[in-house]
Amino acid sequence: MPITLACLLPAPPTRPLCLCLLQSCTSVPHFLRIHAQMLRNRLFDDPFAAAELLRVSLTFALGGTRYARKLFSQIPHPTTFAWDCILGGLADSPSPASSLALFRRMLSSGARPSARTFPSLLKACARVAAREAGELLHGLMIKWAVDRDSFSTNGLIYMYCACQRDDLGRRVFDFSRERDVASWTCMLSGYVSCGLLDRARCLFDEMPERGIITWNAMINGYMKSGDTDAAKELFDKMPNQNIESWNTMISGYAKCHQLDMARKLFDEMPAKNVISWSAMITAYAQGDCPFEALALFEEMRRLDVTPNCAAVVSVLSVCSQMGALEQGTRVHSYIEMNKMNLDPVTGTALIDMYAKCGCIDRAIKVFDALVPKDVFSWTAMIGGLAINGHGAEALELFGQMDRDIVK
pLDDT, block means (10 residues), the chain with 407 residues: 45 65 78 80 76 81 79 86 91 90 92 89 94 94 86 91 94 87 91 92 92 92 93 94 94 92 95 93 91 92 89 93 91 88 90 94 93 90 94 91 74
pLDDT of residue 10: 42
**What is the per-residue DSSP string for 278-322?**
HHHHHHHHHTT-HHHHHHHHHHHHHTTPPP-HHHHHHHHHHHHHH
Q: Map out the domains of the chain as residue ranges.
A: 1-54
Is residue 169 within 8 Å of residue 157, measured between CB atoms? yes
pLDDT of residue 317: 93
Is residue 397 within 8 Å of residue 385, measured between CB atoms? yes
C-alpha neighbours within 13 Å on the C-beta side of residue 403: 6
Q: How far apart are the first and last CA of the chain?
A: 52
Helix %, strand %, coil % for the chain, to 5?
70, 0, 30
Is residue 362 within 8 Å of residue 354, measured between CB atoms? yes
35-62 burial: b if 16+ Cβ within 10 Å, else e:
bebbeeeebbebbebbbbbbbbbbebeb
pLDDT of residue 199: 95
321-333 burial: b if 16+ Cβ within 10 Å, else e:
ebebbebbbbbbe
pLDDT of residue 406: 66
pLDDT of residue 76: 81
